[in-house]
C-alpha cells in the first residue's frame, strides 16, 4: 500500500497537467448531445446522468501503477488457490447439467466455463459494487479514456432501452465490468444470451444466463473443441529459444525441433497439424507450454497471459488433471518499473526497438530482448531478468 501511495504522489504533477478541461456539467451536456446525435432519446440520456457526480475512487484505481508487477507464479498461486479449486469443484458438481448442456451446444468444456466464472467473480460471489454508470461517466469526464468510456455509456443506454436490466441493478467493477461474467456493457450487447429462457439476459442474478453468456463469448471468438488450450513440453539442450513467443509452427514442426510433451508421452496423430506457439512465462528457467488458438480465445476475455494460464490451470485442477510439472524460478527478483524502463532505454541504445519506453515488458520488449540476447550469445528467451539488465548495463559501459 505504501509503495502504491508513493507511486501516486510521484505521478501527481503529470496528472495535474492532464486535468480535464471540462467541468462535469459541461461534459454531461456535450455527451448528451453526442448520444442524441447517434439516436438515443434525449430524456433517457438526461435521466441516466441526472444525479451522477464524478467518483474519486474510480480515478484512483485508473491511475494506480504499481512499482512492481506481481510475478506470474504469485498470480497463479492466487488464481488456482485451494479455496478457488474447492469452490469450483462444488460449482461444477452443482451445475453439472447446465454446464454439460452448454458444452454440447458450444464445444467449450464445462471446466473452462467454470474456471472463467471462478476468476471473474468467484463463481458469482464477487461482482463489484460500483455503480457502472457513475464509474463510466467519471472515466469519460476525466478524458484519458473518454472515447472508450462514452462508447460504453452508449451501450448502457441501448441495454436499458432493450429492458434487459433495471437501472439500479447496473453494478460492477470500477472500470465497468458487470455481473458474474464481468462483461463490459458493449460486450454484453454483443455476447450476452438468455440461458434460462425467461426472455431476459440477466448476467447478474441468473447463473444460467451468466454461464451461457461466457460459453457463447468463447464460442464466438473461435473456441476449437478439438484442441487443448496448451500442452506442457520439454525442450532439448540446444533449443533455439528465439523461436519462443512469436513463431507459429505446427506441432509436427515443433516435434522435429525436439519439443516433447512432458512425462515422455508421444505426440498424438491428431496433434501434429495443430498450429502452436511456444510460451515461456518465466523464460528458459520456468515451465514451457505450447499454446494453440484456444489460449488466444481465453485472452480475448482478458488480454493477459497470466490470466489465460490461470484459467487453463484452474480448469485442469477442477477435473483433477494436475498442474504444471516444470517449476517456477521463485527465487528470481522481479524487475521494477524503473528497471524495466532502464532496460528498454538500454535496448534502444543497443539498436533494438522495444516498442517504446513504458516500464512494461510487453511483446515488443521481449522481441527486442531476444534479439539482443541472441546477438551476444545468451539464451534468447526474451525474459526480463535482473541478469539481462546487468548485461545491458555492462554492454553500455564497455562501448
CB of 64 to Ca ion, least distance (A): 35
**Residue whose C-alpha is closest to residue 102's, from 227, 183, 218:** 218
274, 227 Cβ separation under 8 angstroms: yes
Degrees, nearest 5: CA angle 253-72-9: 135
Using CB atoms within 10 Å of the CB of residue 19, give its burial: 0 to 12 exposed, 13 to 18 middle, 19+ buried. Answer: exposed
Grid look-up 479514456 returns 145
How many residues belong to the site for Ca ion (CB under 5 A)?
6
CB of 261 to Ca ion, least distance (A): 42
- The smaller minimum CB distance to Ca ion, of residues 200 and 221, is found at 200
**Residue whose C-alpha is closest to residue 383's, from 355, 363, 358:** 363
- The smaller minimum CB distance to Ca ion, of residues 101 and 242, is found at 101
CB of 388 to Ca ion, least distance (A): 52
Region 157-196 residues binding Ca ion, contact defined as CB under 5 A: 194, 196
- C-alpha cell of residue 66: 504499481
Residues 6+ apart with CB under 8 A from 251: 231, 259, 267, 271, 272, 273, 274, 275, 276, 290
CB 106: neighbour CB atoms within 10 A? 19
CB of 195 to Ca ion, least distance (A): 6
CB of 197 to Ca ion, least distance (A): 7
Q: Specify which residues 278 forms β-bridges with.
A: 290
Stretch that binds Ca ion, among 100-108, 201-209, 235-243, 354-362 (CB under 5 A): 201-209
CB of 207 to Ca ion, least distance (A): 10
- The smaller minimum CB distance to Ca ion, of residues 153 and 165, is found at 165
Grid look-up 454446464 returns 99
Interface residue with Ca ion among 25, 41, 60, 198 (CB under 5 A) is 198
- The smaller minimum CB distance to Ca ion, of residues 197 and 264, is found at 197
Cα 306 from chain centroid (whole Å): 7
Residue 94 binds Ca ion (CB under 5 A) = no
For the question of residue 120 being annotated catalytic, the response is yes
Cα 275 from chain centroid (whole Å): 22
Residue 209 binds Ca ion (CB under 5 A) = yes
- C-alpha cell of residue 61: 484505481
Region 26-55 residues binding Ca ion, contact defined as CB under 5 A: none
CB of 257 to Ca ion, least distance (A): 49
Handedness of CA 333, 337, 55, 177 (dihedral sign): negative
Q: Compute the distance between CA of residue 232 and CA of residue 16 in angstroms, rounded to an integer.
A: 48
- The smaller minimum CB distance to Ca ion, of residues 120 and 209, is found at 209
- The smaller minimum CB distance to Ca ion, of residues 58 and 113, is found at 113
Grid look-up 484512483 returns 60
Using CB atoms within 10 Å of the CB of residue 352, give its burial: 0 to 12 exposed, 13 to 18 middle, 19+ buried. Answer: buried
First-residue to last-residue Cα distance in the chain: 40
Of the candidates 56, 67, 120, 168, the residue annotated as catalytic is 120
- The smaller minimum CB distance to Ca ion, of residues 142 and 164, is found at 164
Known catalytic residues are: 120
Applying CB under 5 A, the residues found at the interface with Ca ion are 194, 196, 198, 200, 206, 209
Amino acid at each position: 500500500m505504501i509503495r502504491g501511495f508513493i507511486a501516486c504522489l510521484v505521478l501527481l504533477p503529470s496528472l495535474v497537467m492532464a486535468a480535464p478541461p471540462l467541468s462535469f456539467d459541461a461534459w454531461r451536456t456535450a455527451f448528451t448531445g453526442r448520444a442524441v446525435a447517434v439516436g438515443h432519446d434525449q430524456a433517457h440520456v438526461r435521466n441516466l446522468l441526472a444525479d451522477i457526480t464524478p467518483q474519486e475512487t474510480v480515478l484512483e484505481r485508473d491511475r494506480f501503477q504499481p512499482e512492481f508487477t506481481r510475478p506470474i507464479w504469485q498470480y497463479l498461486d492466487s488464481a488456482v488457490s485451494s479455496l478457488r479449486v474447492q469452490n469450483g469443484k462444488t460449482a461444477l458438481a452443482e451445475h453439472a447439467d447446465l454446464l454439460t448442456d452448454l458444452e454440447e451446444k458450444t464445444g467449450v468444456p464445462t471446466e473452462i466455463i467454470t474456471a472463467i466464472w471462478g476468476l471473474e467473480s468467484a463463481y458469482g460471489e464477487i461482482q463489484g459494487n460500483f455503480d457502472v454508470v457513475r464509474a463510466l461517466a467519471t472515466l469519460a469526464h476525466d478524458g484519458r479514456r473518454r472515447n472508450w468510456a462514452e462508447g460504453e455509456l452508449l451501450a448502457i443506454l441501448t441495454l436499458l432501452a432493450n429492458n434487459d436490466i433495471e437501472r439500479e441493478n447496473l453494478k460492477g467493477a470500477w472500470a465497468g465490468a458487470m455481473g458474474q461474467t464481468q462483461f463490459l456493457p458493449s460486450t454484453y450487447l454483443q455476447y450476452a444470451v438468455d440461458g434460462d429462457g425467461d426472455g431476459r439476459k440477466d448476467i447478474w442474478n441468473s447463473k444460467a444466463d451468466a454461464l451461457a453468456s461466457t460459453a457463447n463469448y468463447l464460442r464466438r471468438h473461435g473456441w476449437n473443441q478439438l484442441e487443448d488450450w496448451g500442452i506442457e513440453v520439454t525442450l532439448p539442450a540446444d533449443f533455439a529459444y528465439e523461436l519462443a513467443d512469436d513463431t507459429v509452427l505446427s506441432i509436427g514442426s515443433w516435434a522435429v525441433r525436439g519439443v516433447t510433451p512432458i512425462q515422455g508421452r508421444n505426440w498424438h496423430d491428431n496433434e501434429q497439424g495443430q498450429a502452436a506457439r511456444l510460451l515461456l512465462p518465466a523464460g528458459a528457467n520456468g515451465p514451457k507450454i505450447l499454446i494453440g488458438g484456444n489460449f488466444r480465445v481465453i485472452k480475448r476475455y482478458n488480454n493477459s497471459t497470466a490470466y489465460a494460464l490461470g484459467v487453463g490451470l484452474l480448469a485442469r485442477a477442477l477435473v483433477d488433471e494436475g498442474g504444471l510439472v516444470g517449476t517456477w524460478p521463485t527465487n528470481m527478483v522481479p524487475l521494477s518499473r524503473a528497471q524495466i524502463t532502464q532496460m528498454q532505454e538500454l535496448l534502444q541504445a543497443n539498436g533494438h526497438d522495444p516498442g517504446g519506453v513504458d516500464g512494461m515488458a510487453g511483446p515488443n520488449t521481449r522481441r527486442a530482448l531476444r534479439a539482443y540476447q541472441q546477438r551476444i550469445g545468451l539464451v534468447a528467451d526474451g525474459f526480463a531478468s535482473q541478469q539481462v539488465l546487468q548485461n545491458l548495463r555492462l554492454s553500455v559501459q564497455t562501448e
